[in-house]
Amino acid sequence: MRVHTLKRAVVALALALPAAAIASVVAAPAAHADGCYTWKRTLYQGRSGSDVRELQLRVAGWAGRRDIVELDGDFGPKTAAAIRRFQSAYGLRVDGIAGPETFRKLYQLQDNDCTPQHFSYPELDNGCGRGGWTGGPLSAAQTRQNALLNMWKLEALRKSLGSQPLIVTSGYRDRSCNSQVGGASNSQHLYGNAADIVSNDRSLCQIASKARDHGFSGIVGPGVSGHNSHVHVDSRRENNRDGITNRTYWAAPNCGI
């Protein structure tokens, strides 16, 4: 886990100050440069920009049931609601505003390559040999970006499952790999949008049930042929390709979904 030296220095400084000064430190913008991304201003409804999009990426896993947080850079009601759920999950002040306290928690959760604490690019690059992010229908950069979005959703799902580890058994597949494993010709795995997951501590039905509340528009699990040993989750609604609008699809009959 990355050590956030500067964050610890700020905390140490706050502990050494009188109460009035502590309030000033807490209210100030982030005073350090995070290894991945640093927000420069407080964000709330009505604001827009690339910093809002970076925030949306990280709270996309806290969308409401059957909803998604669009990565459009516009801070609207759905972004605010996702932030409130994020804040509640991590014991922060719940106000739907992304300020220093919320940013500090995000800094703690993200690694220097912008992946969340408990997931990594190698985990999401299955590739039947881990051949990199090429060989699919999208550019390597877009495929990696899709995988990053899924990782942040998986981080939120993991938190809601009691912080129990989730194991990714299959992530991105290039065309050759997808054909080798018998994947559908239009599989979300080809786009970096999907992950097949299991847990040693939670049942497949617990995973599938919780996934409904974490921005996954695709969930396929027990009761569907080929999915009795894992839960497939994906972000198909964000992957509107070839003029086709992907809609929410959940199917895990053995779990009542």
Torsion of CA 204, 159, 70, 212, to 10 degrees: 30
Which two structure tokens, joined as six digits, stand for 103?
A: 């940013």
CB 215 within 8 A of CB 67: yes
CB 229 within 8 A of CB 196: no
Concerning whether 214 is annotated as a catalytic residue, the answer is no
Paired sense of beta strands 218-220 and 249-251, if any = parallel
The Cβ of residue 15 has, within 10 Å, a number of other Cβ atoms equal to 9
* Rounded Cα distance, 58 and 241, in Å: 23
CB 223 within 8 A of CB 253: yes
The catalytically annotated residue of 189, 214, 227, 232 is 227
Residues designated catalytic: 227
